[in-house]
C-alpha cells in the first residue's frame, strides 16, 4: 500500500514526521536508488527505501513506555548543547522509543514514549486534547490566586481552555496546587502562574488521560500494561 514517506519513517520509530520530512529534504532518503522528494509515496512491500544507505526495516511491534522524568533532563533523544536527555535514562530499554509531547527541562513526572509513530502523531496533533494533571508548588499565593488561575487568558494568540485548579495546602504565601489542563501549550502552566502573579517553583505531571504516574521511582521507566495501552489508543 502506498504511503507518504514521512509517515512510513515515523511509523518505524526512526523519527517524528517533521524530522522525517527534514531527512527527505536533505537527500538522506532514497526510493529505489533515487533521492526522494517531499510528498513522495512508496509501498514498502514493493519499493526499496533506504535512510542514510540503510534499508528501512519492517515495522516493529509497538512499544509503550512510561518514564518518571527527573528535573534537569531535556525531553529529546540527543542534545547539541550536551545537556542530560531522557535517552540517558533509557539505556536499558531494548527498543528505540521517542517522547510523545514534552516536559520542559525543569519539570518532572510522567512522560510517555513509544515507537508507534501513528499514535504519536495523533496524540501530539493540535486538535487532540487530553487532560493532563500536575502538582505545582508555588510562592506568592493569596486568597484570589485560584480565581486568577482559572480566569480566561490568551497564550500564543489563542484563548486557553479553562483549567481545573484546587489548593492542596497553603501556608505563609506558599502553596501546593493541583492543576488539570486540557491542551499542551509551551510552558503553559508556568505562564498561567505568571499571569496570576504566582511563581511556580516546582512542577510535576502525575496524570495524562487514563495514565497515572503512581509510585514509579524518579528516573525509572516501565512498559505500559496491556490495559493501559488499550486505553491510550482509545483517547
Strands 199-208 and 108-114: parallel
Environment class of 90 (CB within 10 Å of its CB; exposed 0-12, middle 13-18, buried 19+): middle
Confidence bin at 31 (pLDDT 50/70/90): very high
Q: Assess whether 104 carries a catalytic annotation.
A: yes
Helix (H, G, I), strand (E, B) or coil at 45: coil
DSSP helix/strand/coil, 35: strand
Of the pLDDT bands very low, low, confident and very high (cuts 50, 70, 90), residue 227 is very high
Return the biggest CA–CA distance within the chain: 68
The pTM for the full model equals 0.79
Residues 159, 91: Cα–Cα separation, whole Å: 40
- 132-208 belongs to CATH 2.50.20.10: no
* 228 pLDDT higher than 80: yes
Q: How far apart are CA 173 and CA 197, in angstroms?
A: 12
The angle at the Cα of 25, spanning 23 to 30, to the nearest 5 degrees, equals 65
CATH class of 64-127+213-234: alpha beta
- 14 or 213: whose pLDDT is higher? 213
Specify the pLDDT at position 234.
79
- The model's pLDDT over 68-127, given as tens digits with 9 standing for 90+, comes to 999 999 998 888 899 999 999 998 898 889 899 889 999 999 999 998 877 887 888 767
User: What is the tens place of the pLDDT at every residue in 181-212?
Assistant: 988 788 899 999 999 999 999 999 999 988 99
- Give CA 33 to chain center in angstroms: 34
- Hey, do 3-55 and 64-127+213-234 end up sharing a CATH topology, with the first three levels equal? no
Measured in residues, the chain has a length of 235
Domain coordinates in residue numbering, the chain = 3-55, 64-127+213-234, 132-208
Q: What is the CB-side half-sphere exposure of residue 190 using CA atoms within 13 A? A: 13
Residues facing residue 113 across a β-bridge = 65, 99
Quote the CATH superfamily of domain 3-55: RNA-binding S4 domain (3.10.290.10)
pLDDT digits (tens, 9 = 90+) for 119-178: 887 888 767 778 999 999 999 999 899 999 998 888 888 888 899 999 999 999 999 999
Catalytic residue chosen out of the listed positions 79, 104, 116, 131: 104
Tell me, what's the pLDDT at 11? 75
Amino acid at each position: 500500500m502506498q504511503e507518504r514517506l514521512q509517515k512510513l519513517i515515523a511509523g518505524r520509530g526512526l523519527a517524528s514526521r517533521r524530522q522525517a520530512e527534514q531527512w527527505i529534504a536533505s537527500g538522506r532518503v532514497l526510493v529505489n536508488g533515487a533521492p526522494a522528494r517531499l510528498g513522495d509515496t512508496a509501498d514498502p512491500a514493493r519499493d526499496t527505501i533506504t535512510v542514510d544507505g540503510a534499508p528501512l526495516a519492517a515495522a516493529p511491534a509497538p512499544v509503550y513506555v512510561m518514564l518518571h522524568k527527573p528535573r534537569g533532563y531535556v525531553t529529546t533523544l540527543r542534545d547539541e548543547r550536551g545537556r542530560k536527555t531522557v535517552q540517558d535514562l533509557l539505556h536499558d530499554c531494548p527498543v528505540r522509543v521517542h517522547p510523545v509531547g514534552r516536559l520542559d527541562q525543569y519539570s518532572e513526572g510522567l512522560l510517555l514514549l513509544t515507537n508507534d509513530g501513528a499514535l504519536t502523531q495523533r496524540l501530539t496533533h493540535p486538535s487532540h486534547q487530553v487532560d493532563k494533571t500536575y502538582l505545582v508548588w508555588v510562592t506568592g499565593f493569596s486568597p484570589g490566586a485560584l480565581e486568577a488561575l482559572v480566569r480566561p487568558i490568551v497564550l500564543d494568540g489563542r484563548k486557553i481552555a479553562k483549567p481545573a485548579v484546587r489548593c492542596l495546602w497553603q501556608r505563609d504565601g506558599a502553596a501546593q496546587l493541583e492543576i488539570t489542563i486540557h491542551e499542551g501549550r509551551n510552558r503553559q502552566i508556568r505562564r498561567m502562574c505568571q499571569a496570576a502573579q504566582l511563581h511556580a517553583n516546582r512542577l510535576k505531571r502525575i496524570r495524562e488521560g487514563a495514565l497515572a504516574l503512581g509510585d514509579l521511582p524518579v528516573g525509572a521507566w516501565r512498559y505500559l500494561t496491556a490495559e493501559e495501552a488499550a486505553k491510550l489508543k482509545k483517547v
